[in-house]
Amino acid sequence: MNYTVMSEDVCDFMDDCGLSSSFVLGHSMGGKVAMQFATEFPNKVETLIVVDIAPKTYQPSHRPMLNALLSLDLKIYKSFGEVDAALAAAIPDASLRQFLLKNLTRDKDGRLTWKIDLEAIARNYDNLAAAIAPRQKFNRPACFIRGGRSDYIPDDDISLIRKTFPQAEIKTIPNAGHWVHADAPEEFLKIVTDFLSNN
């Protein structure tokens, strides 16, 4: 699990669907996948939109959260609410817990289980925190949308972004955190639609 592999997955998906070009939008880890894809397969990307992530290495700050999820023995819980309560001490942010619980489901026997391969994510987490490995510059329109209350794209990163994405426009939504599209959906939608219609 790394950005080159996931970029190739996107390429395979497009080929399987008969798509020769696309408008690509990705948030956070998905934004890194989108950036890697755009630099590996630029002819397949008409326009790139990256949400609250830069092409750099980040500190592995999600490791405690992953450890909290891995420590749960789902067999002992009967409901989503019980899992939520079990995570509250390690992950006090209720909205983050609700987001994480979207990855929880029931198997054919009604037992709680993860939809995601949590162990694979934890095993490969250092790859996910790493910078992208661009093959070339992406010289087509690109828009980086950041949350004004987020520290994922500080001003210092703008020159780094433009080294690989020379046409990058940087848009900031002042009252949004890292979950930009959830915190300010109308402003986010307007930036995206305006950018797409102008490019």
SS (HEC) of 58-96? CCCCCHHHHHHHHHCCHHHCCCHHHHHHHHCCCCCCHHH
Q: What CATH code is assigned to 3-57+130-198?
A: 3.40.50.1820
Contact assessment for residue 44 and residue 20, using Cβ atoms and an 8 Å cutoff:
yes
Check pLDDT > 90 for residue 8.
yes
Check pLDDT > 90 for residue 95.
no
Q: pTM of the full predicted structure?
A: 0.90
Q: What is the pLDDT of residue 140?
A: 98
Region(s) of the chain under CATH 3.40.50.1820: 3-57+130-198
Check pLDDT > 90 for residue 162.
yes
What is the percent of the chain where pLDDT is above 70? 100
Q: What is the pLDDT of residue 133?
A: 96
Contact assessment for residue 31 and residue 52, using Cβ atoms and an 8 Å cutoff:
yes
Of 60-64, 169-173, 194-198, least confident by mean pLDDT is 60-64
Residues 6+ apart with CB under 8 A from 64: 90
Query: At 9, which helix (H) or strand (E)?
Result: helix 3-16
Q: What is the pLDDT of residue 96?
A: 87
Q: How far is CA 157 from CA 7, 52, 141, 169, 170, in A?
A: 22, 11, 18, 13, 11
